[in-house]
Amino acid sequence: MRTTQNLLHGAGLGLRRAFLSEIVENPPQDVDFYEVAPENWITIGGKLGKQFRAMTERFDFVAHGLSLSIGSSDPLDETFVREVKNFIATHQIKFYSEHLSYCSHEGHLYDLMPIPFTSEAVTHVAQRIKRVQDILEQKIAIENVSYYAAPGQEMNEIDFFNAVVTEADCDVLIDINNIYVNSVNHGYDALAFLKAIPAKRISYAHIAGHYVEADDFLVDTHGATVIDPVWSLLAKAYELYGVFPTLLERDFNIPSLTNLVDEVNTIKSIQTAWSNEHARQTA
């Protein structure tokens, strides 16, 4: 089974239709790879489809799913998984990741809902991840998600997350902003959570901005610039585990491409700083 690790490098950007034409005409040199939600592109044809194909022929891409609903009690949508498999093959997608959540119950809920942190849920989700990996014939990466309630909780978030990825034998998409948001909303130590991540399974990372509803309530919107404490947490992750590919997400209030690339360059500058520090220490 193909692993998702060591297939990317550097700093990436989530590709959005709002700036697709601009990127096709003048690709930023500082963006090393791009990410798309396969659901938004599998059926796209016409001009947008041609532009997208032109991009995937030239640059490295990863797919980050929105609707696999890996924690749902509904039957796994294997038809969709096979569509993703064809999408990966057609566009030479490096790998596929999804959220540790669910978004369907007898129909789509159009939101990412928290899975109960229980041992029963660990087994249920792990079995579904294994099935997806069997169909795709490659490992997938599972992302730690932001959540605002924990119904039926029997274990803490990091223990639940680690139990799932261990039993499923999948890789990890580590979301730095989600760690920070959850640490504020649920009162835990972000650094302790980060230190407990299974480092050898990290395929790449997300970083994004959020909305401050109150001092003790943050909303993961991907609609603002990344704040300094989140950048600092990313730097700490590199210090702990070495530099891994990291992608900027921005879904709402999308600024100019120049501003987005500036944030991508912040990722690269932090990566360079820690690479230089590691080289100094091992010289």
Condensed to tens digits (0 to 9), the pLDDT of residues 46-91 reads 999 999 999 999 999 999 999 899 988 899 999 999 999 999 999 9
Confirm whether 177 is domain-assigned: yes
Confirm whether 159 is domain-assigned: yes
3-class DSSP string for 189-233: CHHHHHHCCCHHHEEEEEECCCEEEECCEEECCCCCCCCHHHHHH
- As given in the structure block, the two tokens for residue 171 are 């890789």
Confirm whether 2 is domain-assigned: no
Confirm whether 6 is domain-assigned: no
Confirm whether 5 is domain-assigned: no
Mean pLDDT of 272-279: 89
Mean pLDDT of 218-241: 97
Confirm whether 176 is domain-assigned: yes
C-alpha–C-alpha distance, residues 252 and 30, integer Å: 22
Output the domain CATH number for residue 129.
3.20.20.150
The sign one gets for the Cα dihedral 139, 144, 147, 152 is: positive
pTM reported for the whole predicted model = 0.95
Query: Which pLDDT value is given to residue 2?
Result: 52
Q: For residue 187, is pLDDT > 80?
A: yes
- As given in the structure block, the two tokens for residue 280 are 């100094």
Query: Which pLDDT value is given to residue 131?
Result: 98
Confirm whether 1 is domain-assigned: no
> Tokens 């014939």 sit at which residue?
137
C-alpha–C-alpha distance, residues 13 and 35, integer Å: 6
Q: Which whole-number Å values give the CA distances from 27 to 34, 57, 154, 257, in the listed order?
A: 11, 13, 47, 10
Q: For residue 6, is pLDDT > 70?
A: no
Confirm whether 3 is domain-assigned: no
Query: Which pLDDT value is given to residue 248?
Result: 98
C-alpha–C-alpha distance, residues 177 and 183, integer Å: 10
Q: What is the pLDDT of residues 248-257, one digit of tens each?
A: 999 999 999 9
Domains held by the chain: number: 1
Query: Which pLDDT value is given to residue 67?
Result: 87
Mean pLDDT of 150-159: 92
Q: How confident is the model at residue 105 (pLDDT cuts 50, 70, 90)?
A: low
Query: Which pLDDT value is given to residue 149?
Result: 87
Residue 109: domain span: 11-282
